[in-house]
Structure 1
Amino acid sequence: MPRDLPAPDLPEPLAPLVDAHTHLDACGATDAASVAAIVDRAESVGVGRVVTVADDLDAARFAVDAAHWDPRVWAATAIHPTRANVLDDATKAEIERLSADPRVVAVGETGLDYCWPGKLDGCATVDEQVEGFRWHIDLAKRLRKPLMIHNREADHDLLAVLLDEGAPETVIFHCFSSDATMAIACVEAGYVLSLSGTVSFRNARELHEAATLIPADQLLVETDAPFLTPHPFRGAPNEPYCLPYTVRALAQLRGVDPAELAAAVTATAERVYRLR
Structure 2
Amino acid sequence: MGSVTGTTTPGGAMAESGVLELRVLGPFEAAVHGQAVELGGPRLRGVLARLVVARGRAVGVETLVAELWRGRPPADAQRTVRTYVSRLRAALRRAGGPCAEDALVTRPPGYLLRADLTALDALRFEGLAASGRQALDAGLPQVAVQRLTAALDVWRGDAFAEFDGHPGIAAEAARLERERLSAIEARLDATLVLGLDARAAAELEGLVHAHPTRERLWGQLMTALYRSGRQAEALAAFRAARAVLVEDHGVEPSPRLAEIHRQVLRNDPALDTVPASAASFAGRGG
What interval of TM-score do these two structures reach, taking the shorter chain for normalisation? under 0.3
Flag the structure with higher helix content.
2
Larger RCO (CA under 8 A, 6+ residues apart): 1
The TM-score, its normalising length taken from structure 1, stands at 0.26
Flag the structure with higher strand content.
1
